[in-house]
Structure 1
Amino acid sequence: MSNDVSVIGLYILDVLGRPVERIPERGNVEFIDEIRLTVAGTAGGTVVDLAKLGLKALAVGAVGEDEKADFVIDRLERHGVDASGMQRLSGVPTSATILNVRPNGERPALHVRGASDHFDVAREDWDRVLAPPIVHLGGTGLLRRMDGEPSRVLLEEAKRRGRTTTFDLIAANEETIALVEPLLPFIDYFMPSIEEARIMSGCDTVEDCAKFYLDRGVATCVLTLGGEGAYYAGRDGTAFRRPAYRVEVVDTTGCGDAFDAGFIAALHHGMDPETAVGFAQAAAGLVATGLGSDAGIRSFEHTLDCMSTWPRPA
């Protein structure tokens, strides 16, 4: 059975707890309402949401040979993801994060980089990894072996094969642009947060940020603006800003990954740009209503209904 999308990059086990008001002193205990384990990361969170939205998705990343890896692979398969592209690497732990979610939604993190630093896509795997019509690379910045030239070569090959390429990153700083800029001519949809876009470009306004990346080869920028919505700008001159939906936010973990998944699903279904951004925002809004990167999203139809009925600021 052929896949609709290949999701390459950062796969993490998240351990989340909420609400965390303080870390107890010495060996004391604080009681909280909820603890969850989820598959997360700029690829992992996206691929799970894509499966929940009804796409046939291939997961391409790496885990260790530990109990965390067992959980990640099991959860991917339970969601209906094709996990045959996941590598199990010996001698390194599965990448994992402990997230202490505060009552206001902030989420200070403790992270083990682990297997994702040792992941790469071998040329002999290109035929399988690049077979789907949409190829998403997520996690640049925390893919030590994959970052830079290996990512450029992979995206260039994806474009040579006629694939639609989408891209997101993580943990951007002023140096990250050196990793990202060579990739830009091979990216159809560039989907960072506005904070990441500003840090890498040195630009201030949303419009200037988008122009920076368009001038360097990206076909379309889709910048997430948090509670202010999203901004879309294409080389064809299409540009618009769309306000966010009003939802009761529980946890923003994975909202960017859900936006990516929603937008990719919209591409798969042939939606026009404004509808695609709205659908992506609805997917992100659903994830914000629960704990963890896989919260909220039930199905394509449910997300479409939320997009049609949820209120937006006037």
Structure 2
Amino acid sequence: MNRARVVVVGSTNMDLVAKAPALPKPGETVLGGEFATIPGGKGANQAIAATRAGGATRLLGAIGSDAFGVTLKARIDAAGVDTGLLRVRYGASGVALITVDADGENTIVVTPGANATFTDLTGPERAALAEADVMIAQLEIPVETVTEAAVAARAAGTRTVLNAAPARALPAELLDAVDLLVVNETEAAAIGGERRPEPLLASVPRVVLTLGPEGAWYADRDGTSVRVPGVRVETVDSTAAGDAFTGALAVAWAEGREIVEAVGWACAAGAACARKLGASTSLPTRAEIDELSRGPGRAS
């Protein structure tokens, strides 16, 4: 089987991750425990996730000229992602400050850095979109760039997947170019006004609403509405579980799997990711996803 060709348009950040017994309240200082510096950003995470899930993946985005940028590129390269078109801009790379509590819940503050400079697609970047089976994008880069990429991909016949995170209202031009929208309940409410997938079908033809450990809810304009159960695991850190889900979903869909089956496989990817600490370091391999997908532990 030929590998699915995936292009990810998105952010690249250095994640500074601290574990603590509880998330701090406003004005509160909490004594933490384990600390790690881990390459992340939703774009980089989803590119690595898609690669480990079996895709041949290229990343379009921007890193800074600082030490974080050097480390980011080296780690993304080592994961097998094609970074030949990744831009380097003078100044700081994007940074995410992440706190993870004892239950695996987290808070995240992202400073964009070089990601904010990723504007106006080049000819080679447009060509990469046209050569792909599927494009994945998120919202940690300028929304104008996401829109431009989605419109270009749609025009070239490339399937478009938008993970609408972080939550915000979206321009109609972008939604018109999306084939599959992936959102959590907060993001669904920000776009469609409800924590359900059906209202979003007025804007896009297919929606996956992620439900954490409970799995996902798929709906489309053909009348399909299916709850796909999750996989029960002991959660260590949920930071990149959504990115693992989206990367695996895009690969499975590009491989020609029936969409509800692809969503189920993606649920296993998200669960496998949540068993480990960190973002890019926790993203599962195809073998790990297959094993968890076949095994016991599906939520009822």
Deviation per residue, 1:162-219 (Å, 9 max, x gap) = 10111113231xxx22x34321121111001121111222224x2xxx2322112x12
C-alpha distance in 2 between matches for 1:87 and 1:297: 24
Q: Following superposition of structure 1 onto structure 2, how do residues 287-298 of structure 1 map, counting pairs within 5 Å?
A: 287-298=273-284
Secondary structure at 2:42's aligned position in 1?
coil
User: 1:42–1:168: 8 Å Cα contact kept in structure 2?
Assistant: no
Deviation per residue, 1:146-171 (Å, 9 max, x gap) = 313x4333212211111011111323
Size of the aligned set, in residue pairs, is 294
Tell me how far 1:30 sits from its aligned partner.
4.8
Q: Runs (4+) of structure 1 moved beyond 3 Å?
A: 19-23, 28-31, 295-298
Q: Share of identical aligned residues, percent?
A: 25
| TM-score where L is the length of structure 2 | 0.90
Q: Which amino acid aligns with 1:294?
A: S
Tell me how far 1:115 sits from its aligned partner.
0.9
Deviation per residue, 1:222-262 (Å, 9 max, x gap) = 11012322010112222201121111001110111111011
Of 282, 286, 298, the residue aligned with 2:268 is 282
C-alpha distance in 2 between matches for 1:299 and 1:256: 15
Q: Following superposition of structure 1 onto structure 2, how do residues 228-239 of structure 1 map, counting pairs within 5 Å?
A: 228-239=214-225
Of 172, 192, 195, the residue aligned with 2:186 is 195
Secondary structure at 2:62's aligned position in 1?
strand
Unaligned runs of 5+ in 1: none
Q: 1:158 to 1:13 in 2, by over 3 A?
A: same
Tell me how far 1:299 sits from its aligned partner.
2.3
Unaligned runs of 5+ in 2: none
Secondary structure at 1:260's aligned position in 2?
helix
Q: 1:102 to 1:244 in 2, by over 3 A?
A: same
Q: Which amino acid aligns with 1:80?
A: G
User: 1:46–1:260: 8 Å Cα contact kept in structure 2?
Assistant: yes
Q: Following superposition of structure 1 onto structure 2, how do residues 79-158 of structure 1 map, counting pairs within 5 Å?
A: 79-90=79-90, 92-125=91-124, 126-138=126-138, 140=139, 142-143=140-141, 146-148=142-144, 150-158=145-153
Deviation per residue, 1:235-292 (Å, 9 max, x gap) = 2222201121111001110111111011012113221122111110011001100111
C-alpha distance in 2 between matches for 1:22 and 1:272: 40
| TM-score where L is the length of structure 1 | 0.86
Q: Which amino acid aligns with 2:112?
A: R
C-alpha distance in 2 between matches for 1:38 and 1:274: 32
Secondary structure at 1:246's aligned position in 2?
coil
Match of 1:162 in 2: 157
Tell me how far 1:38 sits from its aligned partner.
2.4
What is the RMSD of the two structures over their aligned residues, measured on CA atoms? Answer: 2.3
Q: 1:107 to 1:197 in 2, by over 3 A?
A: same
User: 1:42–1:169: 8 Å Cα contact kept in structure 2?
Assistant: no
Secondary structure at 2:93's aligned position in 1?
coil
